[in-house]
Structure 1
Amino acid sequence: MANATLGVATLAAAAIGLGSLMAPTASAAPDDPAPSVDRSAVSPGLVAAMERDLGIDADQVRARLAMEARAPVVARSLEKKLGASYAGSWIADGATRLTVATTDRTEAAAIRRGGARAVVVRHTQAELTADRSALDERASSAAAGVHSWYVDVATNSVVVTAAPGAKQQATAFAKRSGAASVRVVTSAEAPRTVADIRGGDEYVINNSALCSVGFAVNGGFVTAGHCGGVGATTTGFGQAQGTFEQSSFPGNDYAFVRTNGSWVSQPWVYNYAGQAVLVLGSQDAAVGSSICRSGRTSQWTCGTLQGRDETVNYSNGPVYGLSRMSACANPGDSGGSVISGNQAQGVTSGIAGGCGSASPQTWFQPVNEILGAYGLSLTTG
């Protein structure tokens, strides 16, 4: 943008302790040695933030980023090879390679040959997805105390989160759906959207509410749908900026703001250390990957990607297909960007806690869905 860096922001939440549904039978060879990575391709600001928030040193950061860049390729290859027995993939805490789950024990050797650690589980990914879809179909009947539901491939289950006093209602909701793989966990914090506190490079909606720019695209930027409806006007840094041309919320939580000729799209995310993190693409990160966010309220923090394709039952209505991360943030970052390495991941949707939480969480709307829905092209370096 002219005279300004495109802002980025996200939000965080209180963690939910997830016990294991079953003890998967693991069939794995020792992890591969940590791969090398081109140091010149890694932003110093990103390295510093990951060292601080993930408790690892610079060499471990670079090794992790290299492994994470390889993980989606391995996952796609093995998903195709395993077919119906595929049960998901993720990067386990402290691991140096991807874990891939299957329901067919005879496929374990093929998974190891494909470059991943093998785990044998009960439910296929298709079964888990079908159970989550069954819950989605009954979303309108979910009680207010039912917070969210999502596929957790690491525990081979569909998790329904609920307020401590609503566990019975959540269990009944899950039972009505007919889903076989559901388990209910409680969370004191309810997800909520945040659109009226500034974060990142803020923009003002209709001269009143405040949100954050997500990622630059052709003609403007993407952000959260709950920030404004179609036709709402925006200003930034005291000057006229643009108009919400497209917006979807609830159901989805994304929007496209078309900016005027005074604004120029730039392929970066501000890290609040005087540096810009270059955006090179939007490849989806594997679950377990490191992920970072930026915003005026909580500045630049990092965590890990905890889940994808989750449903969050906001007070305004359910939003489907959200991703969840542990990067700490606070209200004021709504609509801002979420990035893993140099790959754009999404725009912040809502929180269930904040940086004061012991185990923060954040939900975000995946950016590739927004680009596809509105026919937009991400601005990249």
Structure 2
Amino acid sequence: MRRTAARIPGTTALLALLTATALTAPSPGAAAATATATALTRTAAGTERLAAVSEAVLNAEVDGTAWYVDRAGGRVVVTADSTVSPAALAELVHAVGPDAPALTVQRVPGRFTPLLAAGDAVYGGRYRCSLGFNVADGGAHYFLTAGHCGNVAATWYADGAHRTAIGPTLASTFPGHDYALVRYDNEALDHPGGFTSAPDAYVGEAVTRTGSTSGTHTGTVTGLDATVRYTGGGTVRGLIQTDVCAEPGDSGGPLYEGDKALGLTSGGSGDCTTGGTTFFQPVNAALTAYDVSVY
């Protein structure tokens, strides 16, 4: 005897409803793709907005300010030194316009200046700077220092009396960037190494800086890709911002973590008695520009 399946009332209507739902409702994969696309669109819009805010700060042309984009926090962090008046800060905020809520403004004592001074360590003309990293290209040896140092001296010496020559400045860039290349022409001078790599710095990294004025000090990376408009000294982009102290004459000196070369001292504010904010030119940009390597 053949058994016939029982017919459930309303089955046809129910099947029609389920079929229609299957045809019109997005699949889980499609919904996820839509959500991802929406998130990417919002992220791109946020990135463009922060870039526009950063550019507006640059165009405000307020000396004594430095800033970087904090993408994770969705803000542009502006640091103003003691020379920036309340009126100048108001002009900067006004220049940003309706996106001003994306600004975070903080104050530091002192003046943002390139840390150049007459004195001791590596000498050129009337100035003293600090040697950054010894570098090489094949069998030739050089050292890196700050570009604002390289701009003021054609030849460098190991002593203030200019009796022991090191060699000439081959290339120098400042403002915009802040690095210079000096060749060792004096074969009697040692040029030891000790660094194995030159990676990018990261926020929160514990770092050490050495300079001919203030010696060795430690601190932390607080910002990346910072732009600083030095008081009377030009604008430099792409810097590492730190809370490590530095003083005039420390320019060009190395920023490092262990055997990792990170940066060249560019400028800042404060001193090593009260503390300060110091900016560093990433060393990997100089290595790329001059096609040399740390060792």
Name the TM-score class by shorter chain.
0.7 to 0.9
Gaps of 5+ in 2: 1-35
Distance 2:67 2:191 in 1: 35
- Residue 282 of structure 1: aligned partner: 198
SS of corresponding position for 2:270: coil
Kindly state the Cα deviation for residue 241 of structure 1 after the two structures are TM-superposed.
Answer: 0.7
Pick 1 or 2: higher relative contact order, CA cutoff 8 A, min separation 6.
1
Note the aligned Cα RMSD (angstroms): 2.9
Structure 2 residue 183 is matched with structure 1 residue 258: yes
**Contact persistence 2:56–2:95 (CA under 8 A):** no
Kindly state the Cα deviation for residue 188 of structure 1 after the two structures are TM-superposed.
Answer: 3.0
Distance 2:260 2:39 in 1: 29
Larger Rg: 2
Structure 2 residue 261 is matched with structure 1 residue 329: no
2:252 aligned partner, one-letter code = G
How many residues in Structure 1 have an aligned counterpart in Structure 2? 247
- Residue 347 of structure 1: aligned partner: 264
Distance 1:143 1:373 in 2: 29
Structure 1 residues 204, 163: closer, same or farther in 2, change over 3 A? closer
Structure 2 residue 94 is matched with structure 1 residue 168: no
Structure 1 residues 178, 289: closer, same or farther in 2, change over 3 A? same
Gaps of 5+ in 1: 1-81, 87-102, 105-121, 268-277
- Residue 204 of structure 1: aligned partner: 123
- Residue 363 of structure 1: aligned partner: 279
SS of corresponding position for 2:90: helix
Structure 2 residue 239 is matched with structure 1 residue 313: no
1:259-284 deviation digits (Å, cap 9, x = unpaired): 214145321xxxxxxxxxx3110111
TM-score after normalising by structure 1: 0.58
**Contact persistence 2:124–2:153 (CA under 8 A):** no
Structure 1 residues 239, 191: closer, same or farther in 2, change over 3 A? same
Kindly state the Cα deviation for residue 183 of structure 1 after the two structures are TM-superposed.
Answer: 2.9
SS of corresponding position for 1:361: strand
- Map 1:1-381 to 2 at 5 A: 124-125=46-47, 127-136=49-58, 138=59, 141-144=60-63, 146-153=64-71, 155-163=73-81, 166-177=85-96, 180=99, 181-198=102-119, 202-206=121-125, 208-218=126-136, 219-229=141-151, 232-237=154-159, 238-262=163-187, 263-267=189-193, 278-314=194-230, 315-357=232-274, 359-378=275-294, 380=295
Structure 1 residues 367, 179: closer, same or farther in 2, change over 3 A? farther
SS of corresponding position for 2:76: strand
TM-score after normalising by structure 2: 0.74
**Contact persistence 1:167–1:186 (CA under 8 A):** no
1:189 aligned partner, one-letter code = G
